[in-house]
Amino acid sequence: MKLAQTEYSQRRQQLMSQMEANSIAIVPTAVETVRNRDVEHPFRQDSDFYYLSGFAEANACLVLIPGREQGEYIVFCNPKDPALEIWTGRRAGPEGVAKEFYADEAYPIEAIDSVLPELIEGKARVYSVMGANSQFDTQLNHWLNQVKAMVRKGAQVPHEFSALDHLLHEMRLIKSPAEIEIMQKAADISAAAHCRAMQVAKPGCFEYQLEAEILHEFTREGSRWPAYPSIVGGGDNACILHYTNNDMLIADGGLILIDAGCELDYYAADITRTFPVSGKFGPEQKALYELVLKAQLAAIEQVKPGNSWNAGHEAAVKVLVTGLVELGLLSGDIEQLIKDESYKVFYMHRTGHWLGMDVHDVGEYRVDKEWRPLEVGMALTVEPGLYIAPDCEDVDERWRGIGIRIEDDVVVTEGGCHILSHKVPKTVAEIEALMGKQNG
Ligand code: GLY
Ligand code: MN
Ligand code: MN
């Protein structure tokens, strides 16, 4: 499942229409990194680069020059090299990039030091993503110095530099119907993976065995990678927010927290479910689970156009604190507990983040210092949780070591929101039914 090339063309046009007159934008690819000795980490294209090109090869650079007569979209990339391609795989080469990826001009990457300074010369402003890729920052300085060296011959050096991030990331924040379709598919695959893990989990299995079930389902359905390392935490490992060791045995009686989502054509899903390894929630587990679920539903209720980004978090915190007081895990005045953030010992993260090509996607959360209002097409997660540390002496022993998070992916619609991850059950009854032990 892939976006059409026309969508990438539209994005480039939209970006160029927002750039100042007489300007140039330069976007590098991600950098290949060594894992150990001759082994590299799997290459994953930079999201900004891919968003504008759909081109997944490393060692390339794309350039946009609005209004340039000879062509506005220029790409530098690895040249064709049949001998090397036998070892390292197919390359599009400049001709392929022009034909398949609609570049107006394409050059071998080796030509960049001679061609790019000429393209920069005479422009008033350079747009780039600064500070993210030090290798690129060094190269950009080098190209600018090359232009400066030609000043006495009449060359004009750009004197304004703008972060491309703002323009580009505001575009990425609002998802098109085609992007939402892919995100829906990513969520469907991830939902099926969560269901599969719930169905095969049993006391005595290892966390990595459930991770294997998740990855199997992702790959079987066409996703080549998880969007982030899967978290499979049995028992009190669920209280470690970014637990990825996934190497322990899951003892009977505990909960399992799985936070896993696949990546599909560069779009992430990010889903968390928590369920009992035995197939049936114990009384404390159920009480806390239902509290987190109530908070999650209250937060989802707040996801609608015009509502503040923070409304969901505030609603979730209110429900959680009220419930924690009712259950005796916190004591005091609810408003005061919220104000002094005493709940943070049990709920220390926020209720969500933007979701898209990056699992923690780009886009500002505040505009002019205020939490921004939600708009149709924004995609986000809603993921409250409660984590009662195993050594928390402030609460009765029966609550200790319980970690719960419930995370869904939602997209803002005219009427409120659509839950992309709705296919994975989340009520106690639904989970127990799926695990086949409803009356067990
Ligand atoms: N999986 C990371 C997160 O939920 O934000
Ligand atoms: Mn997550
Ligand atoms: Mn998340």
Helix (H) or strand (E) holding 10: helix 5-18
In angstroms, what is the span from residue 272 Cα to ligand 2's centroid?
6
Ligand nearest the Cα of residue 356 is 3
Is pLDDT at 252 greater than 90 in this prediction? yes
Residue nearest to atom 5 of ligand 1 (CA): 360
| DSSP for residue 360 | S
Catalytic residue flag (residue 387): yes
- Ligand 3 centre distance from Cα of residue 302 (Å): 17
Question: Is 38 annotated as catalytic?
Answer: yes
CA–CA separation, 115 and 25 (whole Å) = 14
State percent of the chain over pLDDT 90. 97
| Measured distance CA(405)–CA(397) in Å, rounded | 20
Most informative mutation of 230, 272, 387 for ligand 1 (most atoms within 8 A of CB): 272
Q: Where are the beta strands (DSSP E) in 245-371?
A: 255-260, 262-264, 267-268, 271-276, 366-367, 370-371
SS3 308: strand
Q: Which residues line ligand 1 (CB under 6 A)?
A: 228, 259, 270, 353, 359, 383, 407
SS3 357: coil
Measured from the Cα of 261, ligand 1's closest atom is 1
Reported confidence tier of residue 102, pLDDT bands at 50, 70, 90: very high
From 188, 207, 211, 270, active-site residue? 270
Contacts of 296 (CB under 8 A, 6+ apart): 316, 382, 383, 384, 406, 408, 426
Please choose, from the candidates 260, 254, 246, the residue with its C-alpha nearest in 3D space to the C-alpha of residue 279.
Answer: 254
pLDDT digits (tens, 9 = 90+) for 305-327: 999 999 999 999 999 999 999 99
The confidence score (pLDDT) of residue 440 equals 38
Mutate to test the pocket of ligand 1, among 194, 274, 407 (most ligand atoms within 8 A of CB): 407
User: What tens digit of pLDDT does each residue of 60-92 get?
Assistant: 999 999 999 999 999 999 999 999 999 999 999
pLDDT at 438 over 70: no
Residue 391 pLDDT class (50, 70, 90 cuts): very high
- CA-nearest residue for atom 4, ligand 1, is 270
Q: How far does the centroid of ligand 3 lie from the alpha carbon of residue 83, in Å? A: 43
| Chain position carrying tokens 């708009």 | 375
For this structure, is 207 an active site residue? Answer: no
Better-scored residue on pLDDT, 47 or 440: 47
Find the 353 Cα to ligand 1 centroid distance in Å: 8
Q: Give φ, ψ of 272 to 5 degrees.
A: -125, 135
Per-residue confidence (pLDDT) for residue 439, from 0 to 100: 37
Q: Please identify, by atom number, the ligand 1 atom nearest to the C-alpha of residue 231.
A: 1
- Dist CA 31 CA 225 (whole Å): 18
Looking from the CA of residue 407, the nearest atom of ligand 1 is 4
Atom of ligand 1 nearest to the CA of 349: 5
Has 179 been annotated as catalytic?
no
Binned at pLDDT 50, 70 and 90, residue 436 comes out as: confident
Q: Give, using CA atoms, the residue closest to atom 3 of ligand 1.
A: 270
Q: Which long-range contacts (C-beta less than 8 Å, at least 24 apart) are formed by 207-212?
A: 207/232, 207/233, 207/234, 207/237, 207/245, 207/246, 207/247, 207/248, 207/249, 207/250, 207/256, 208/232, 208/246, 208/247, 210/250, 210/256, 210/258, 211/246, 211/260
Catalytic residue check, 343: no
CA of 260, closest atom in ligand 1: 1
Q: Which residues of 252-267 are buried (b: 16+ CB within 10 A; e: fewer)?
A: eebbbbbbbbbbbbbb
CA–centroid distance, residue 87 to ligand 1 (Å): 36
Query: Tokens 């899903």 belong to which residue?
Result: 269
| Predicted confidence band of residue 32 (pLDDT cuts 50, 70, 90) | very high
CA dihedral 282, 284, 285, 289 (to 10 degrees): 130
Would you state the torsion angle of the CA atoms of residues 150, 154, 155, 161, taken in this order, to the nearest 10 degrees?
120
Do residues 187 and 223 touch, judged by C-beta distance below 8 A?
A: no
Residue 420 has, within 13 A of its CA and on its CB side, a CA count of 34
Distance of CA 276 to the CA centre of its chain: 27
pLDDT for the residue numbered 131: 82
* Arithmetic mean of pLDDT, 153-171: 94
Predicted confidence at residue 300, as pLDDT, reads 98
User: What is the per-residue pLDDT across 118-153, written as a single tens digit (0 to 9) for each?
Assistant: 999 999 999 998 888 899 999 999 999 999 999 899
The question of whether 118 is a catalytic residue gets the answer no
194 is catalytic: no
What does DSSP say about strands 23-28 and 125-128: parallel, antiparallel, or unpaired?
parallel
Question: How far apart are the CA of 409 and the centre of ligand 1, in A?
Answer: 11
pLDDT (mean) for 152-170: 94
Q: Is 362 in contact with 172 (CB distance < 8 Å)?
A: yes
pLDDT value of residue 388 = 98
Mean pLDDT, the chain, rounded, equals 96
Complete domains list, the chain, with CATH? 5-172 (3.40.350.10), 174-439 (3.90.230.10)
